[in-house]
Structure 1
Amino acid sequence: MTASVPSFVGAGNLVYRADRVPHFVRGEGAYLWSTDGRRYLDAEAANGSVPFGYDSGLLDEALRHCRDLPALPSFCESELRLDVLARIERLVGDVVGEPGRVELDLGGAQGMETALRIAFSAVGPGAVVVFEGAFHGRSGMTSMLSSSPRYRELLAGWGLEVVRLPTPDCARCPHAVVDAGCTTGCRAAVRRWGSELSGVGGPDSTRKVSAFVFESIQNVAGMVEPDHALLRNAVAHARRNGAVVIADEIFTGMHRTGPRWGFQRSGVRPDIVVASKALTNGAAALSAVWAREPLADPARYRPGSHSSTFIAIPHALGVARAVLDRWDRWPQAQADVEALGERMAVRLRRLRVGHPDLVRDVTTFGGAARIVLTGDHAARLRGLCLTADPQVGLVVAATGMSPDVINIHPPLVISDADLDVMTDVLDTSLRRLSERKESS
């Protein structure tokens, strides 16, 4: 463990935001091992990117797909890439019920920017509508979509006009009626843009809204699921105003929340879907952007509109093919992930009963869950999870946008025994946090 940043390491990322940073050397299943031999259960799944856990066999499978083609110029095609594109297209198109085309990019933020390129090519550049609490990346363009102003302090695409709809988090909404979900007023609020009063142009305006971008569950905002009727109203209004509807499925895609795609939970059908993390099990940087026909047709979105040196890199494509093979071999993924959510809910509810002074609420969404604390204790609890138990550490997530929420999203293949370990470490850590609160 170390509390200091090595002299040769740039620390602008998240690695050194905590005082104690484990140095990991090995992973297997849902566990990681550090240099000192300590074992850690990963209840965060490498930020949601390892649904199948730590499995070196995936790399062996991937290598077989790309051993004879270690590199490829970015302006050339391969049968490997075509196979991956065709399979991803079916994964989305079969659910949306329409055919589409797939573009590849290097990561989530890059995929979101590609989605906007496609949308702007189709309807022209304009404003983008998102929800409060949105997180779509930290690049210059996507930082403008993301809610936290910290993401825009050093680099931002200031030419992009962004409109934020009221928060979909009922617990933080000033208009919410307790336990009633979104009110009629909340649902009407998402339809105000495009009016003379809203300050945002409608379909007849030159400076109109070009895209509505949403997360089916806002991960960084504290695992917030928009009211399903609210989201349907927002999507319908976007379509009436000629905007392209973009689903950010970077975290929620491929069964993280139960269905194959998170947007299925609310019954909406997007025009563009951005997927990433679960396509490579954390073993390669790759995102996929599906756009329904004819949005990405070459006549609209012309060749050369976007390119990247590593979009066609065979290693990443080999990983994607190996991971897609794994998904194909899991025919009951949705049912199994929903059952995982039920098993997590039972354990987390016990924590809520056992620690009423610290745990206000728990909610599960398939293979994801949130623990809502009674105060802004998430960062302290996250640190305690690493150290409080002498036998095993626990990796959980907490963000500055939701300092009272612990996010739980383990590998989707986690066992019941591992869930028991997770619960025991959380219980110990909550007790330590309560003791520290009492002594302070």
Structure 2
Amino acid sequence: MTDNSSPIPSFAGAGNLVYREPEVPRFVSGEGCWLTAADGRRYLDAEAANGTVPFGYDATLLHEALRRCEQLPGLPSFCESDLRLKVLSRLERLVSGALGTPGRVELDLGGAQAMETALRIAFAANGPGTVVVFEGAFHGRSGVTSMLSSSPRYRELLAAWGLEVVRLPNPDCRRCPHAPATGGCGTGCREAVARWGSELSGVGGNGFRRKVSAFVFESVQNVGGMVEPEHALLHSAVDHAREQGAVIIADEIFTGMHRVGPRWGFQRAGIVPDVVVTSKGLANGGAALSMVWSREPLGHPDRYRPGSHSSTYIGIPSALAMVDAVLDRWEGWTTVDKDILRLEESMRERLAAVAARHPDLVASVDAMGGTARVVLSGPHAGRLRHLFRSAHPEAGVLVATTGMAPDVINLHPPLVIGEPELDLFAEVFDTALDGLV
């Protein structure tokens, strides 16, 4: 097979995820669910940039966005525009329509920046205080969000050490020491996430000056290994946090916009958050923009004063136009719920069939909406990711792995992936597992 990769250039910084391996393909074009490398080898995208490209590689979205901002190609971030107001209004309705309560929308660039904005809103309401998250969480790699994320690697080079973070027990029953032998979250698990706010817990609540300002959760922990907290466990954590006066922040950066089934991941468990953060599903990879929705009165100017937040490019018309065009695409997808359920079933069926042929290598498989996970019998995810890319003679497949879950392959292809592509994925999966032996 022809070598389709390039070594790290001497002028390229190698600290980002592009260079997880010493040699990587250089992509020159993309269409649908496919990317093509410089040597002509094609790759089926079963990672979709971790959910950033729900509609696949579709240049018509970019062309449509550019047409919407021809008369206003650039604008300083402190200037208002009709386009920005239109996008804000549309985004606000995406959340308020699901929660049945009005709110306000702030914009930011990436997911980590949006999480920091969400914390600003919570601190404006409650004062700076402790933030509670689940063990296994990932909320970004910035100085602040690296403190929320579980892996200590994110805090080795840059971290906001003044931020106090408390971690609740891991919601992954495979890793949680509280999980009963029968599986699932027992009474002890649900009590464990609601013990803080007392003299004994070491974490302040309503009766203390230093209290918890925010509880932040992912409805599905992507980087943690595609783990969905048991719904009763999540309700216990949210209910207790709300009783203690904490702002409930739903991190929907990855799970939002039908990635795990419904429009918002928190709808799977019936949770009602105070703040919703999302990003990846809004611009189909064509712009850097994220959204922070907060219920009234959290974002009201009397509480969250003008000047509390600013970012240079959040008003740039090309990014706003990209979101506007993608929102049109979402609104036009009238069968999305049915189609995502069909995708879930199709992925689960194919994964189960391949897993049955490799019982010594695959411990379990499952699917949730437009995502799926493969739990391996050992920490082989990194090697298997390489085999997905290289083992099959006709095409490679791009899959996701994380250091926080070295025994899990994460799958989140474009939501428009079809049956022929899924058939090919299963074939490549089979070949890759053969190479793992």
Mapped contact 1:370–1:406 kept (Cα < 8 A) = yes
CA distance in 2, matches of 1:48, 1:144: 23
Residue matched to 1:428? 431
Mapped contact 1:257–1:367 kept (Cα < 8 A) = yes
CA distance in 1, matches of 2:357, 2:140: 36
Q: Which amino acid aligns with 2:415?
A: L
Mapped contact 2:8–2:23 kept (Cα < 8 A) = no
Mapped contact 1:62–1:321 kept (Cα < 8 A) = yes
CA distance in 2, matches of 1:297, 1:386: 49
CA distance in 2, matches of 1:380, 1:12: 20
Matched, 1:190 2:193: yes
Runs (4+) off by over 2 Å: 1-4, 177-180
Residue matched to 1:36? 39
Matched, 1:232 2:239: no
CA offsets, 1:322-372, max 9 Å, x none?
A: 000000000121221111001100000011101001000001111001000
Aligned residue-pair number: 434
Residue matched to 1:272? 275
1:5 CA displacement: 1.6
1:20 CA displacement: 2.9
Residue matched to 2:420? 417
Q: Secondary structure at the match of 1:15?
A: helix
1:203 CA displacement: 0.8
Superposed counterparts of 1:309-320, under 5 Å: 309-320=312-323
CA distance in 2, matches of 1:90, 1:178: 44
Mapped contact 2:8–2:22 kept (Cα < 8 A) = no
Superposed counterparts of 1:32-431, under 5 Å: 32-431=35-434
Q: Which amino acid aligns with 1:414?
A: I
TM-score normalised by L of structure 2: 0.98
1:67 CA displacement: 1.0
Mapped contact 1:257–1:338 kept (Cα < 8 A) = no
* Coordinate RMSD, CA, aligned: 0.8
1:73 CA displacement: 1.2
Consecutive unaligned residues of structure 2, counting only runs of 5 or more, are none
Q: Which amino acid aligns with 2:126?
A: V
1:179 CA displacement: 4.8
Q: Which amino acid aligns with 1:236?
A: D
Mapped contact 1:2–1:19 kept (Cα < 8 A) = no
Among 5, 11, 14, the alignment partner of 1:11 is 14
Q: Secondary structure at the match of 2:17?
A: coil
Mapped contact 1:258–1:335 kept (Cα < 8 A) = no
CA offsets, 1:161-183, max 9 Å, x none?
A: 00000000011112222453101
Q: Which amino acid aligns with 1:173?
A: C
Q: Which amino acid aligns with 2:239?
A: A
Q: Secondary structure at the match of 2:19?
A: coil
Q: Which amino acid aligns with 1:351?
A: V
1:4 CA displacement: 2.7
Mapped contact 1:386–1:394 kept (Cα < 8 A) = yes
Q: Secondary structure at the match of 2:225?
A: coil
Q: Which amino acid aligns with 1:194?
A: G
CA offsets, 1:307-327, max 9 Å, x none?
A: 011010001001000000000
Q: Which amino acid aligns with 2:73?
A: P
Consecutive unaligned residues of structure 1, counting only runs of 5 or more, are 435-440
Q: Which amino acid aligns with 2:351?
A: L
1:7 CA displacement: 1.0
Mapped contact 1:128–1:211 kept (Cα < 8 A) = yes
Residue matched to 1:437? none
State percent identity of aligned pairs.
Answer: 68
CA distance in 2, matches of 1:280, 1:301: 27
Mapped contact 2:6–2:26 kept (Cα < 8 A) = no
